[in-house]
Amino acid sequence: MPVHLEQPIRVLSEQEFHDLDFQVMRWAFDTHNCLGRFYDEKIYQNELLAICRENGLMAETEVKINLTHKTFSKDLYIDLLLERGSICELKAAASIISEHRIQTLDYLLLSDIQYGKIINFRPSSVEHEFVSTSLNNTARHNFSVSHNNWDQKSETAIHLKTVAIDILSDGGAFLDSALYKEAIGHFFGGLEEITKPVEIHKNGKLIGIQKTPLLSLTETFCISSVKTGISTCRAHLQRFLNCTNLNSLLWINLNRSEVQFSTLYK
């Protein structure tokens, strides 16, 4: 997935980032003290942008990152890009959660920026976290593949593996698994289109319906980024499969620089 950014990027040293961050956090606290904590994210974004520009910083909001792979295209937007080398993701949430960290890290990786900050204005005191990565674009394309437990006979499995490796070879590893899932789903007809209601049974009794992405009438797939507890994740996926009428689950796990392909059967 080649990456196209609206703005040119400048590499900042860690010290340059922290000096810049010290200024920005002071203005973030001032904004919080002045406005309070009950506004939407966009209000804080507009105010912090104005303050940064008033103080002579290069600042842009909603900086578009466009990801493409063949016919797949997706746009992501950086909340606040400062001095063309520092990313600030602004939140108005109960607390900073893992999804916010994953999102910010994705933006760092895709823009080849090392340092970023999450700033959350909703708590009674401004909550903030430093996010960084040492991975560059070259390192993200250096991954290995393991497929000893992969179905080598199913045409669907063969096609899925080909599509997945093609996407990873083009765009690199280490991104949020949801991005890969959406991109893969696109080449099977679109993730929304292939997501269908599947009956869930326990001891022969229907206990509910769950929407599940289907690659065929009998095959589903899962994209994960599990680093620890892989065997536990496998056990839970197997339990899920056992409670459906599906025959197999094609599991792709992005374990840092290793891409693991496994097929689970009923």
Read off the pLDDT of residues 36-84 as tens digits, 9 standing for 90 and up: 999 999 999 999 999 999 999 999 999 999 999 999 999 999 999 999 9
Q: Are 194 and 214 in contact (CB under 8 A)?
A: yes
Distance CA 183, CA 65 (A): 15
Give the model's confidence band at 87: pLDDT under 50 very low, under 70 low, under 90 confident, else very high: very high
pLDDT at 118: 98
Sequence spans of domains, the chain: 3-134, 141-265
Residue 132 has pLDDT above 90, yes or no: yes
Give the model's confidence band at 174: pLDDT under 50 very low, under 70 low, under 90 confident, else very high: very high
Residue 2 has pLDDT above 80, yes or no: no
pLDDT at 4: 84
pTM of the complete model:
0.92
The arrangement of secondary structure in 3-134, i.e. its CATH architecture, is: 3-Layer(aba) Sandwich (3.40)
pLDDT at 164: 98
Q: How far apart are the first and last CA of the chain?
A: 34
Residue 138 has pLDDT above 90, yes or no: yes
Distance CA 102, CA 176 (A): 7
Residue 261 has pLDDT above 80, yes or no: yes
Does 24 or 6 have the greater pLDDT score? 24
Average pLDDT, the chain: 96
Non-local CB neighbours of 35 within 8 Å, separated by 6+ positions: 43, 44, 47
